[in-house]
Every structure is written in structure tokens, then in C-alpha cells.
Amino acid sequence: MNTVCVTGVGLVSSQGVGRGPHLSAGQPIVDSESFAPFPIHPMPVLDMAPSIPRREWRQMEPWQRLGTYAAGLALADADALARVQGMHLVVAAGGGERDYALDEAILAELPTIAPDRREAWLHRRLADGLRPTLFLAQLPNLLAGSISIVHGVSGSSRTLMGEEGAGAEAVRVAAARVAAGTAAMVLVGGASVAGRWDTMQIFGRALHRGGFAPTAERPGMILGTQAGFVVLESLEHARARGVAVLAVLRDVRVDAGEPAARAARLAAITPPGPSLSLAPHAGPGLDGAEALGDGLGAGLEAAFPVGVAVAAARVAAGGGRLSVQGFGHGMAEFSAILEAAP
């Protein structure tokens, strides 16, 4: 089996862009007003437009732009922009965003339409009012498609859905392919934008309300805008092309089951030693661990790729061996080990 290593990291969160702002726990940056009563960790100020062609930009929602941007950061960090031909892609993604203006217009007009005409009228209204990607229900694999188009990644592509567990499974699948030798290089990650009213509606009961509270002290999530992508390749492949190895990735584990046994399952898959916790709210695994959610918020599909990217950046900066562990707000427990290359 090949030794799997991280050679590129693309990170975006409320803390900033790239490895530097994520090398230590930063002060939480929280917007408690825009989506009150739900606080969020907002998107940082950044100009993504120069990195994405205008034609593609118009077809994307913010989460797609953010993911495509972060993927480009990871490719550049791995010195792999010229090696995307045949590179494989694994993405964790959620559902698409709503066109709020069209939603409001339809709801206002609907009572004036005769009941027997509403189905045909609604279909025509959506077809006329939505751009093609939204009419296709903003398919989750459009993020993978955008990354392929913008950055030229032309190998196989796989998209996984399922909130936090999807991000963990995406990394597990990508690492397994490199370890088995079925892929020389894999770009893997996810993105999530917190500032969406439709997300607030979907997760409302699972969200924290009011001002900021540390992860260990809140029963609900504070969503955080974040994206994390990493380039994975074998240690032998990385050394053959003369690129720096940021960290070795070992023992990616994903589990799931009934909530009552969560603590036991997480304990069984979490290795000893220094740890970064991806817990979205109070729960197991927080004792003695740094809660990434304090500074970054809950990232849903992006949470685990972001955690792996942060850990790799810290190992590369001399931080020693780190594990990343946590659980989903609904299901899934996950962990991985990042350590310096031998």
C-alpha cells in the first residue's frame, strides 16, 4: 500500500485565506445580526472573480464559487496546476441555493392562478425565471463540474452528499484510491456558505440562537462559511516530482449509528494524542481537544476536509502529529491522523 500524503492545501474561512490564518486558533469572527436570531461565521472579504472566468461565474452560486476558488488554491499550493490532466476529483457538496426573489414573486402570484392551472403555470414560471443550473435543482455535482471546467481537472469525478459524513467519506475514498495505487493524484474537498436563509430553515432546530458561545457550551450549531481542499498523492509520487510534502495522512475512519452510542464509537476510532475537534456542538471528543468550531463554525459537508487541511498546514509548520476527529450534527463520527513525512 502507498503512503498517502498531502501536498497542497486550499483553505477559506472567516479567519482568512490560505494556511497562515489557520495555524493557530483565532478569535471568533461572528455576524449576529444578518440572520438573527442565528449567528454565523461569515465569508471573509476576498475577490474570487479573477480566478473564475466570467461565463462560469454567472452560472455559479456562492458555495460553488467558494469551492472552486479553494480548489484552485490547493492545486497551486501543490504545484499541480500543470498536472490536472488525469487528476481525480472527489467532492462533498450539499443542495443548491434558492432564488429568493423568484420564490417571493411566485408566492405572491400563486393565489391569483386557478387551481387547475397551477401545475402548468408553476412549471412555466420556473422554466422562464430560473437560469439552467437552478432549474436542474442546482445539482450538487455542479461544483465538481465547475472545478473541472475552471481548473482543467479531467480525471474521474465523484460527488458525495450527506452533510458532515459526506466530507469524511470523500476524504476516506480519495485516500483509499491513492493508497491502493488506483489514482496517482486526487483533489478532494468541500465548501459550505453559512449566510443562506434556506439553510436556516432547513437546520433551524439544530442551530444555536443568540450571541456567540463556545462549541462546548452550546447544544446547537453556529454555521460557518468555509471551504477546504487538499491534493493527495503517494509519498513516492510526490518525491519523484520534487514537491514538498506537507503531511502524511493516515487511518481515515468513518462510522455511524444510533446517537446513544456516539461517545463509544467516537472513542473507538479516535487515536490518542493532540487533537482538533470538529464537533458542531457540545458532545464527545471535546475534552483536551481544540474545537475548530469555535473559530470556524460548523461547516457541514466541508467540515472534515477543512479539518484535514488545517491539520496538514499545522504539521507542515512544525506542529507535530495531530489527529482530526468529530461527529456530525445528525449522524456520522470520523477521524484521521496527520503527521510529518518520514
Q: In angstroms, what CA-CA distances link 334 with 7, 94, 285?
A: 22, 18, 11
Express each pLDDT in 111-166 by its tens digit: 898 989 999 988 888 777 776 555 454 566 788 989 999 999 999 999 998 899 99
Vertex 134: Cα angle to 132 and 137 (nearest 5) = 115
More confident residue, 59 or 3: 3
The model's pTM is 0.91
Phi then psi for residue 69, to 5 deg, are -65, -50
Longest dimension (CA), the chain: 71
pLDDT value at 96 more than 80: no
- Alpha carbon of residue 213 to chain centroid: 22
Contact call for residues 25 and 249 (beta carbons, < 8 A): no
**CATH tag for 4-97+138-339 (out of 3.40.50.970, 3.90.1150.10, 3.30.70.890, 3.40.47.10):** 3.40.47.10
pLDDT score, position 61: 83
pLDDT value at 322 more than 70: yes
pLDDT value at 264 more than 60: yes
Tell me how far apart the alpha carbons of residues 80 and 70 are, in angstroms, rounded to a whole number: 14
Cell numbers standing for residue 240? 519523484
Contact call for residues 15 and 224 (beta carbons, < 8 A): no
For cell 483533489, the residue is 187
Tell me how far apart the alpha carbons of residues 208 and 219 are, in angstroms, rounded to a whole number: 7
Tell me how far apart the alpha carbons of residues 277 and 292 are, in angstroms, rounded to a whole number: 6
DSSP string, 118-154: HHHHHHHHHHHHS-HHHHTT--TTHHHHHHHHHH---
Q: What rounded mean pLDDT belongs to the chain?
A: 92
pLDDT value at 270 more than 90: yes
SS3 percent helix, strand, coil of the chain, rounded to 5, is: 40, 20, 35
Cell numbers standing for residue 223? 454555521
Vertex 314: Cα angle to 303 and 14 (nearest 5) = 45
Vertex 168: Cα angle to 167 and 173 (nearest 5) = 100
Write down the domain spans for the chain.
4-97+138-339, 100-135
Q: Confidence band (pLDDT; 50, 70, 90) for 206?
A: very high
Cell numbers standing for residue 157? 469525478
What number is the average pLDDT over the span 168-187?
98
